[in-house]
Amino acid sequence: MKSVPAASDEPFTLCDMQTKLNADEKGTYSDELRAFFEKAYNEVKVAMDAGLAPDEFDKHQKLLEATALAASVVDSYWKLLYGRD
């Protein structure tokens, strides 16, 4: 297991996704991630609109919120790095 680097070492990234976003100056990877989360959001929404049992609806509602938040995190992080839309 990789240890957390000391402050003098190279920058620490939490995952491959962060590493790819760090190198994504053109926004291609962030666009792909946002599209992925948007597709997942839409699929969950379709299932909810079709009608679900109350316990399944609650699970899907949480998944819907999670996919929206994930897309928002990607978008915010990329904008933080590159300062543009």
Average pLDDT over residues 72-79: 93
**According to the model, what pLDDT value does residue 9 have?**
57
Asked if the model's pLDDT at residue 76 lies above 60, the reply is yes
The mean pLDDT of the chain is 86
Q: Residue 26 has which token pair?
A: 């053109």
**According to the model, what pLDDT value does residue 83 have?**
83
Q: Count Cβ atoms below 10 Å from residue 33 Cβ, excluding itself.
A: 21
Tens digits of per-residue pLDDT, 21-50? Answer: 999 999 999 999 999 999 999 999 999 999
Q: What stretch of H or E contains 29? A: helix 28-50
**According to the model, what pLDDT value does residue 28 have?**
94
Radius of gyration of the chain (CA): 17
**According to the model, what pLDDT value does residue 34 have?**
92
Find out whether 4 and 52 touch, Cβ atoms under 8 Å: no
